[in-house]
Amino acid sequence: MKDLLISHVDLDGVSPNVLMNLTGRKFDYKNIEIMDIDKTFDELFKKDLSKYENIYICDLTLTEHAHDLIKNSNLNNIKVFDHHVSHYFAKDYDYTDIRVDIDGKKTCGTELFYLYLKDKYKELNHNDIKEYVELVRQLDTYTFIDEESAQNLNSLHDILGHKEFVQTISKRLKKNKKHFEFTQFEKRLFKIERNKINRYLLQKDSEMKVYTIHNKKCGVVFQENNKSETGNYLSTKHPELDLIVLIDASSRVSYRTTKEDVDLNEFASLFGGGGHKKAAGSRFSDDDRKQIVERYFKEIKIEE
């Protein structure tokens, strides 16, 4: 029998794919956006899932509807691993492992999944794999010990894309070296990418507009790439702002802050979203996009 993995699309979401490759198990996978959770689970639980020995769900804050589907399925082979505080309502379900931190250190979906798998598969107990998981944790929680390596790992993911990144990192980690390292070619690529990102950050700084939203002073920019890094850069550069709002009309709105007295999970919940205290998001819906088109073009006809 094989397994099924359902996870997010960012680095913390695709890294469980890498870990599953290292176990040697055959598995199917779906990497999905937060906005697609209910649709994905509605379709999933209409199918025969008996062919899967284990069903793993990582780095996704499931809705109450999704949890109802799990509980009503009577399946006892589902395990959920997540680190978002907005998912705390489900932390006591017997099939979940939902923790924001471990021994006072912020965790991530990849680390929670790794801690579970390494007890089942001894081949995962190698130093380079542990170092890789730690870099993912640092990047996803913005608690850096080795910021350059963590940012470079994310750059490699962006350069290669999901599928090639998973194949490349899986192949590298299967060699079980003493340390996780980048190739010389990748290091040259990172220098080029860093210069590109620095120009991008300056551009977004010049484009940012300031608004007061729900009594919070917000810097607002429109963008699709490098959201976490842009949010952290702008929030650090503009301490007079409470938070940064990054709008990606193709998918979601992201929120970032460096302020200790601002809770972005609470702020995002005002708009149907959630996440962490310093990093959160909410959905940008089809209706939102429709309203933009209607407001900009004024006279339009909706084609069915």
pTM of the model: 0.83
Query: Chain-centre distance of CA 188, in angstroms?
Result: 26
Question: Among the residues of 174-260, which ranges form H helices?
Answer: 184-207, 227-237
Q: What is the model's pLDDT at position 280?
A: 87
Record the tokens describing residue 162, joined without a space.
């999901």
The string of pLDDT tens digits covering residues 19-78 is: 999 999 999 999 998 888 999 999 999 999 999 999 999 999 999 999 999 999 989 999
**Is the predicted pLDDT of residue 243 greater than 70, yes or no?**
yes
Residue keyed to tokens 């842009």? 230
User: What does the pLDDT read at residue 39?
Assistant: 94
Predicted pLDDT of residue 205: 96
Burial 158-187 (b: 16+ CB within 10 A, else e): eebeeeebbebbeebbeeeeeebebeeebe
DSSP class of 35: G
User: pLDDT digits over 93-117, tens only?
Assistant: 999 999 999 999 999 999 999 999 9
Residue 202 has pLDDT above 80, yes or no: yes
* Cα–Cα distance for residue pair 146/150, rounded to 1 Å: 6
Q: Is the pLDDT of residue 304 over 70?
A: no
Q: Concatenate the DSSP letters of all residues of 137-151 into one string.
A: HHHHHT--SSHHHHH
Write phi, then psi, for 260 (nearest 5 degrees): -75, -25
pLDDT tens digits for 275-292?
888 888 888 888 888 888
Distances (CA, A) of 209 to 87, 200, 221, 238: 32, 16, 7, 12
The CA distance from 106 to 138, in Å, is 9
Q: How many CB atoms lie within 10 A of CB 42?
A: 12
Give yes or no for a contact between 220 and 211, defined as CB atoms under 8 angstroms apart: yes
119-164 pLDDT, tens per residue?
999 999 999 999 999 999 999 998 999 989 999 999 999 899 999 9
Q: How many CB atoms lie within 10 A of CB 89?
A: 12
